[in-house]
Amino acid sequence: MYPASFEVLIPRSLDEALDMLEKYGENAKVLAGGHSLIPMMRLRLVKPAYVIYIGRIPGLSYIREEGGELRIGALTTHNEIEESSLLKEKNPLLSETASKIGDLQVRNMGTIGGSLAHADPAADYPGDPSRSRGQRRPQEQVGGEGRQARGLHNRPLHNRPQAQRAPSRDQAPALTGSFGTAYEKLVFRASDFAIVGVAALVQLSGDGTAEKVRVGLTGVDEKPVRARGVEEELEGKKLSEDLIARAAERASEGINPPTDIRASAEYRRRMARALTKQALTRAFKRASRTQG
Ligand SMILES: Cc1cc2nc3c(=O)[nH]c(=O)nc-3n(C[C@H](O)[C@H](O)[C@H](O)COP(=O)(O)OP(=O)(O)OC[C@H]3O[C@@H](n4cnc5c(N)ncnc54)[C@H](O)[C@@H]3O)c2cc1C
């Protein structure tokens, strides 16, 4: 289907984009890579009168380290995140996650800002438990660094125009010491979206105790969730594959997976447990290899 008719606006600065959003409000939508917005417009799920293309605004595509944090500009593409040597060294979870998004064309065009703002419950980045807490919700991610958007509210796939104030950045810590990360994903072949995705981070102390364990799941609920039961089960202990396998059984606690054409809720629960075991085992092995 063709989208309803609309006008394209091309701001050259963040301020200009913000002014346009203020002026056109509910009638406007930000366009970044277009890999989610254009299909939504073609299906007429959204019918903006104005589409504000932000791809010509300079300075929104970057990956850099500042004060122990890794900062990623909203217009940074999945492919740039996958290839970044800084991320591969300091927090490889995002790179591995990006490498499993869609196909090459999607990764070349799609942006982290667009993905987080779109808030698809099966998207890959939101499950990453290493990302900084305050930056995990899309509405926070899109708040402009200079001019903040307030009182925003998102629900999956339907971010309100006021939730798109300004493209900003995503943030994750630069990891230090003995750490390992892994992302496991069961894909729906037709789209490459996650049926279930599990991201894991393990940090070991000098004597090999698990100092920090983080597990994030995507595709298993309306929003990405942390497997806190699994984390509690492992933190402060000397890890082994047996211990991880037992703890992973708690990955399906408290989740409400959907049943749809891709998988039943029960299958998703089982895959959440199985992929948690795989992701944690891989992360643990990687962390062990970095011990002195
Ligand atoms: C065939 C196909 C396969 C895919 N497979 C996967 C997959 O496996 N995993 C996965 O996670 N994703 C997948 N995607 C989605 C893909 O990652 C999209 O690129 C991403 O969801 C949206 O990024 P975008 O830059 O294209 O955003 P757009 O489509 O341009 O915008 C998406 C939404 O975000 C808003 N927006 C965009 N940028 C900003 C910003 N900076 N600030 C505020 N609001 C903003 C827009 O107004 C719109 O509502 C797939 C897409 C396709 C077409």
Question: Which tokens belong to 79?
Answer: 């492919």
Kindly report the average pLDDT of the chain as a whole number.
Answer: 87
Domains and CATH numbers, the chain: 7-53 (3.30.43.10), 63-173 (3.30.465.10), 178-289 (3.30.390.50)
pLDDT score of 133 more than 70: no
Residue 169 CA to residue 74 CA, distance in Å, equals: 5
Q: Does residue 217 have its Cβ closer than 6 Å to ligand 1?
A: no
pTM for this predicted structure: 0.88
Question: Which tokens belong to 247?
Answer: 């703890």
Give the number of the atom of ligand 1 that is nearest the alpha carbon of residue 120.
Answer: 21
**pLDDT for 197-211, tens place per residue?**
999 999 999 998 999
Q: Does residue 48 have its Cβ closer than 6 Å to ligand 1?
A: no
Question: Which tokens belong to 241?
Answer: 């594959």
According to the model, what pLDDT value does residue 8 have?
98
Give the number of the atom of ligand 1 that is nearest the alpha carbon of residue 185.
Answer: 8
- Mean pLDDT across 16-37: 93
Residue 194 CA to residue 196 CA, distance in Å, equals: 5
Q: Does residue 118 have its Cβ closer than 6 Å to ligand 1?
A: yes
According to the model, what pLDDT value does residue 192 have?
86
Contact of 49 with 92, CB cutoff 8 Å: no
Pick from 8, 20, 37 the residue to mutate for probing ligand 1's pocket: most ligand atoms within 8 Å of its CB. Answer: 37
Contact of 197 with 220, CB cutoff 8 Å: no
Q: Report the relative pairing of strands 28-31 and 178-187 from DSSP bridges.
A: unpaired
Nearest residue (CA) to ligand 1, atom 4: 102
